Copies of this chain bind each other. A is one copy, B any other.
Amino acid sequence: MAWLRSAFQDELDGVTASLVQLSNEVSAAMDKATHAILTANLEEAEAVISADDQIDELAHELDNRIIEIIARQQPVASDLRALVTALRMSSDLERMGDMAHHVAKITRLRHPGAAIPSELLLTVQELGKTVKAVADKCSEVIANRDLEKALEMEKDDDEVDRLHRKLFEALLDESWPHSTETAIDMTLIGRYYERYADHAVSIARRVYFLVTGTYSEKLV
């Protein structure tokens, strides 16, 4: 039976490789969406918007492959858990792609104007940098089941929350000189980055649970 087990292991490895590929693509998508919104770059925003279809397609194909593996291999216990978890991670990654898409759509909507007022550019840049770190660690956590990195992501997520609050504080400052339209854009943009990081952290927690059987929240 050794060769059978090994063929199955190859299939699991293939699933992991596809999840890592998806994770790398949504990381690149959000990075480009951040650059586009900071520089009001329509061409980059359009590229993110079209790439989202490919991300959805990739996630969809992966889901079908996972279900086909479950049907054919009829795994139980930890192998079945790993495959069901892979389905959930694929769904989280697909949503992360949607968030990059949403950020890009705001860039397009406001073009040739800039969506972000100049005094908030640095905060959004920091948000973009932090979620990039989160997404790149997410790829490593999926690829290597690296639990150190999974715990680091919880801390990065705290930093995302701090920057998100900082955005709101700027909007709520009595001297806020911009339009309600800008306030709406900034509220949505803040939420997209926050949700993006939440999905990545949720992936890290799923991997943590698969490896240890406990939830990371209680440990950090």
Chain A residues packing against B (C-beta within 8 Å): 67, 70-71, 74-77, 80-81, 84, 87-88, 91, 168, 171-172, 176, 180-181, 183-184, 187-188, 191
Contact yes or no, A180 B171, CB < 8 A: yes
Contact yes or no, B81 A84, CB < 8 A: no
Contact among B84, B168, B184 for A67, CB-based, below 8 A? B84
A144 → B minimal CB distance (Å): 25
Which residues from chain B contact A181 at a C-beta distance below 8 Å? 172
Give Cα A81 to B67, complex, Å.
8
A177 → B minimal CB distance (Å): 11
Chain A interface, >50% SS class: helix
Q: How many chain copies does the complex carry?
A: 2
Which residues from chain B contact A71 at a C-beta distance below 8 Å? 75-77, 80
Which residues from chain B contact A67 at a C-beta distance below 8 Å? 80-81, 84
Which residues from chain B contact A191 at a C-beta distance below 8 Å? 188, 191
Contact yes or no, A176 B180, CB < 8 A: yes
Contact yes or no, A168 B188, CB < 8 A: no
Give Cα A168 to B109, complex, Å.
15
Give Cα A81 to B171, complex, Å.
46
Which residues from chain B contact A88 at a C-beta distance below 8 Å? 91
Give Cα A96 to B67, complex, Å.
25
Can you list 19 A-B pairs, Cβ within 8 angstroms, ordered by A? A67-B80, A67-B81, A70-B80, A70-B84, A84-B87, A87-B87, A168-B184, A171-B184, A172-B180, A172-B181, A172-B184, A176-B180, A180-B180, A183-B183, A183-B184, A183-B187, A184-B187, A187-B187, A188-B191
With a 10 A CB-CB cut-off, give which of A75, A81, A183 has the most chain B CB atoms. A183
Which residues from chain B contact A74 at a C-beta distance below 8 Å? 74
Give Cα A91 to B183, complex, Å.
31
